[in-house]
Amino acid sequence: MCGICGFLDRRGALADPLATLTAMNNTMVHRGPDDAGTYLHEHVGLAMRRLAIIDLTSGHQPIHNEDQTIWVVFNGEIYDFHALREQLRAAGHRFYTKSDTEVIVHAYEQFGLECFSKLHGMFAIALYDAPRRRLVLARDRAGKKPLYYANAANAFVFGSELKAVLQYPGMAREMDPLALQQYLLFSCVWTPRSILRGVKKLEEAHYMVIEDGVAQSPRRYWSHTFANPPERAPEREWIARIDATLRTAVQRRLEADVPLGVFLSGGVDSSLIVAQMCRLMPPKAVKTFSVVFDDRAYDESHWSRWAAKLMGTDHHEFHLSVDGMLDVLDRVLDNMDEPMADSSIIPTHVVSSLTRQHVTVALAGDGGDEVFGGYPKYFAQRWAALLARMPRGLRTWLLEKPLRLLPSPDGSVLFGQGKVAAFFHSLDEHPALRNQFWVSPFLPEQFKELIGAPVDAAALAPVLQRDTDYCGPDDIVSRTMHLDFTLLMQDDFNVKVDRASMLASLEVREPFMDTDVIELAARIPSRLHVPTMRTKHLLKRVAEIYYPRAFIHRKKWGFGIPVKRWIRDKLRAQFSETLSRANVQAAGLVSPALCERLLREHLQGTASHAAPLWNLFVLHRWHARWMKQ
C-alpha cells in the first residue's frame, strides 16, 4: 500500500525536477511511511511512498525490467501474483525481487496494454515505457485505489491524492462549478470530475496512455455486467458457490509479510469474513478488532463479542467515548483534499488508527451491501416503479399523508425522519436519479435558493450515463445495484475507507470487492438477492452456516456519529463560526441566508438539518484549507 505521483514535463520547463517530484511525494508520507523512491528520465518523473507489506527487504519502488527501460510505481496489492509470476518466468522473464510490483513490469512486457486484465487486486499503477516514450496509468476494477490527473498545456501530472498534484508548479486552484453542484446534491464528486477544474480522476477498470506527450482518452478493460438472463440454479447451489468463492477471495487477501487482522463490527458482512478466515487458519491466529462505544445507540459490541466467541478468535476491543471521536475531526478534515460529506469517515479513521497499533493490514466487510443487495432502497425501487403509475393526487391521499403520520424514530431504515417525504418527493424522477435523490441532503428545487440557479443537467449526467452503461436484464433492482457499485461505492465508500485508513498508515483489504465475487453475484437473479422486503437474502443464508439465525436476522445498524447532537452542543461554536454569514459570503459558494436559516432552525430545535449542515460545514472547511492558500 503506497502513494504514487509523477509528471511528464512537456516543455522541459522545470528548474529542478527532483525537487518538484520530492515535494509532490512528501505530501503523502501517511500513505507510505516506510520508504520513498523516485525515477527521473528526460522529462518524466515517477515517485512513490511505500507502506511495506510484501517483500520487505527488496520491494523498494520504482521497480524496473531487466534492461531498465520500463519502470513502475504502484499503490495496492496484486492477489495471486505468484501464479502470474511463474507464468512470466516460464516465458523467459527474469525477476530480481519477490514483490507483486515486479510482476506488473513483466506482465506489461509480455501482454502489452492487455496486462491490466490479467491483474486481480486493488491498484493504481503508473508505468513508464522509455523506448516508446509512453506513460501508462491504470486503476483496479472496483475503484479501490485513487488516481488523480491533470492534463495541462505544459505538463501531465498525476497522484494518489489531489494534494500531490497541486504541488506541481503553476497548478491552478479553480473550483469546477459542476463538481460543486454534484457535491451539494450527493455529498461527493462523481468520477471523472474532481472538485477542481482541470483535475480529473481516472475511472475504475480503466487505463490511460500518454504517448509522445499526447494524452489519449481512458480505455475500459473490464465492465460490471449482469447476466442476461440470470443463471438458473437451486438456492442451495448458490449458497455453496458464494461460500466457496468468498473463501477463496479471503484466502487471496491473507498474503502479507507483516501482522494482519480483521475488522469485526458484528454485522453480517464482517462476521462472515471472520468465519472464512477461521476456516483457512487456526482461529486463535485470527486477530479481530472491534469498538465498544459508551453510547448504546452506536454500540454493537454485544454482537461483535458474540461472533468472536463463536469463532474463537484472538479478540481485541477498543473502548471509546462517542464524543471522544471529536479529537480527530480536524486531522481528518484537514487531510480531505477533496470534500466528501460521509460523516462515517470519522469513526472509520478512529478504528483504523487503533487497529494500526496492532497490525499493518486489516480485512473488512465493505462492499457486501452493493454486491449482494443489502439496502432497503432496492425493494423501495420496486414500489416506486409501481406507484409512479398512480395519479399523483391519489397516491398523496391514499399513501403519502397516512405514512407521514406514522412514528418516525431516528435511525429507522424505512420510516426515519424525512425518509417517507424523500421517497414520495422523488417518485416521478428517472429511476437512476431517484436512487440518488433519496439520500441527497438537498432537493433539486432547493438549488435556486442554495446557489442562485437550478441544477445544471450536466451535473446529473454521470448518474444517467452509468444507468445507460448498465448491461443486464431489464430489472430495477439489478440496475440500482449497478448504479451503487459504479457510483456510490467508487466515490463515497471507497474514498472514505482509503482516506481514513491510509491517514493511519493501515492497509484495508475487502474480499467482497474481489472480481470473482462481484461477477458471481451479478449472475444471480435479483429476486434471490432481494426477495419481497428482505435484503441480502443469499448472503445471510451463507452466514447461517456459521452463525445462529438470531445473530444474523436483526435490525441493521449503521456506523456513524451523532452529527445532529454534536451540532447543537460539542460542535456548536465550530459550526457557528464556519457557517457564519461573513464566512459563507466570503467563500461565495452558496447562499449565506440559507446557511444562516438552516443553522438557526437546527440550533433552536425547530427542525433537524444535520445532513445539509454537515455537507456545508465540510465544504467550507475544505475551502478555507485548500482554496485560500
Q: What does the buried/exposed string (b/e) look like for 391-421 if buried means 16 or more CB atoms within 10 Å of the residue's CB?
A: eeeebeeebbeebeeeebeeeeeeeebebbe
In the structure grid, which three cell numbers stand for residue 467, read together? 444507468
Average of per-residue pLDDT across 299-324? 90
Question: 53: pLDDT confidence band, cut at 50, 70 and 90?
Answer: confident
**Contact (Cβ atoms closer than 8 angstroms) between residue 168 and residue 24:** yes
Looking at 472, 499, 524, which one is the last position of a domain?
Answer: 472
Distance CA 3, CA 304 (A): 32
Give the CATH number of the domain where residue 260 resides: 3.40.50.620
Residue 558 lies in a domain: no
* Confidence check: pLDDT of 324 > 60: yes
| Number of structural domains the chain divides into | 4
* pLDDT reported for residue 458: 95
* Confidence check: pLDDT of 316 > 80: yes
Alpha carbon of residue 620 to chain centroid: 22
* pLDDT reported for residue 416: 46
* Mean pLDDT over each residue of the chain, to the nearest integer: 91
Residue 227 lies in a domain: no
Residue 461 lies in a domain: yes
| pLDDT tens for each residue of 202-238 | 999 999 999 999 999 999 999 999 999 999 999 999 9
362 and 435 assigned to the same domain: no
Q: What is the pTM of this model?
A: 0.94
544 and 599 assigned to the same domain: no
Cβ-based burial of 289 (10 A; exposed 0-12, middle 13-18, buried ≥19): buried
* pLDDT reported for residue 415: 46
Looking at 413, 437, 472, which one is the last position of a domain?
Answer: 472
202 and 246 assigned to the same domain: no
Alpha carbon of residue 377 to chain centroid: 19
Assign 567 to helix, strand or coil.
helix
538 and 575 assigned to the same domain: no
* Confidence check: pLDDT of 629 > 60: no
41 and 120 assigned to the same domain: yes
* pLDDT reported for residue 16: 95
* Confidence check: pLDDT of 413 > 80: no
296 and 247 assigned to the same domain: yes
**Contact (Cβ atoms closer than 8 angstroms) between residue 224 and residue 370:** no
Cβ-based burial of 171 (10 A; exposed 0-12, middle 13-18, buried ≥19): middle
Give the CATH number of the domain where residue 17 resides: 3.60.20.10
Distance CA 292, CA 73 (A): 39
Torsion angle, alpha carbons of 163, 165, 167, 168, to 10: -170
With the C-alpha atoms ordered 614, 502, 161, 270, is the resulting torsion angle positive or negative? negative
Distance CA 284, CA 278 (A): 8
Residue 225 lies in a domain: no
251 and 180 assigned to the same domain: no
* pLDDT reported for residue 321: 84
177 and 273 assigned to the same domain: no
Distance CA 48, CA 61 (A): 7
* Confidence check: pLDDT of 91 > 80: yes
Average of per-residue pLDDT across 237-251? 98
Phi and psi angles of residue 38, each rounded to the nearest 5 degrees, phi first: -135, 155
Alpha carbon of residue 227 to chain centroid: 25
Residue 294 lies in a domain: yes
Cβ-based burial of 80 (10 A; exposed 0-12, middle 13-18, buried ≥19): middle
**Contact (Cβ atoms closer than 8 angstroms) between residue 380 and residue 225:** no
* Confidence check: pLDDT of 182 > 50: yes
356 and 403 assigned to the same domain: no
Distance in angstroms between the alpha carbons of the first and the last residue of the chain: 29
In the structure grid, which three cell numbers stand for residue 281, read together? 487458519
Residue 228 lies in a domain: no
Distance CA 55, CA 552 (A): 39
Distance CA 41, CA 14 (A): 13
> DSSP H helical segments within 232-344, as ranges?
235-252, 268-280, 301-311, 329-335
Question: 326: pLDDT confidence band, cut at 50, 70 and 90?
Answer: confident
Looking at 428, 449, 472, which one is the last position of a domain?
Answer: 472
Assign 156 to helix, strand or coil.
strand
* Confidence check: pLDDT of 10 > 50: yes
Distance CA 367, CA 485 (A): 8
463 and 520 assigned to the same domain: no
Mean pLDDT comparison of 59-63, 369-373, 438-442, highest-scoring range: 369-373
Lowest average pLDDT, out of 139-143, 209-213, 347-351, 543-547, goes to: 347-351
Residue of higher predicted confidence among 608 and 250 = 250
Question: 156: pLDDT confidence band, cut at 50, 70 and 90?
Answer: very high
Alpha carbon of residue 518 to chain centroid: 16
DSSP letter for 611, please: H
Distance CA 342, CA 344 (A): 5
| pLDDT tens for each residue of 442-462 | 988 888 899 999 999 999 999
Residue of higher predicted confidence among 516 and 388 = 516
* pLDDT reported for residue 401: 60
Domain with 425, as residue range(s), is 377-472
Residue 226 lies in a domain: no
* pLDDT reported for residue 407: 55
Q: What does the buried/exposed string (b/e) look like for 485-509 if buried means 16 or more CB atoms within 10 Å of the residue's CB?
A: bbbbbbbbbbbbbbbbbbbbbbbbb
* Confidence check: pLDDT of 573 > 70: yes
355 and 427 assigned to the same domain: no
Amino acid (1-letter code) at residue 212:
D
* Confidence check: pLDDT of 140 > 50: yes
Question: 559: pLDDT confidence band, cut at 50, 70 and 90?
Answer: low
* pLDDT reported for residue 450: 94
Distance CA 123, CA 103 (A): 13
Assign 86 to helix, strand or coil.
helix
pLDDT above 90 covers a percentage of the chain that reads 77
The helix (H) or strand (E) run that includes residue 346 is helix 345-356
Residue 557 lies in a domain: no
* pLDDT reported for residue 414: 44
The CA distances from residue 270 to 157, 358, 446, 489, 585, in Å, are 37, 18, 38, 17, 44
* Confidence check: pLDDT of 537 > 90: yes
Distance CA 479, CA 430 (A): 12
| pLDDT tens for each residue of 456-507 | 999 999 999 999 999 999 999 999 999 999 999 999 999 999 999 999 999 9
78 and 207 assigned to the same domain: yes
* pLDDT reported for residue 291: 87
Residue of higher predicted confidence among 60 and 513 = 513
**Contact (Cβ atoms closer than 8 angstroms) between residue 376 and residue 343:** no
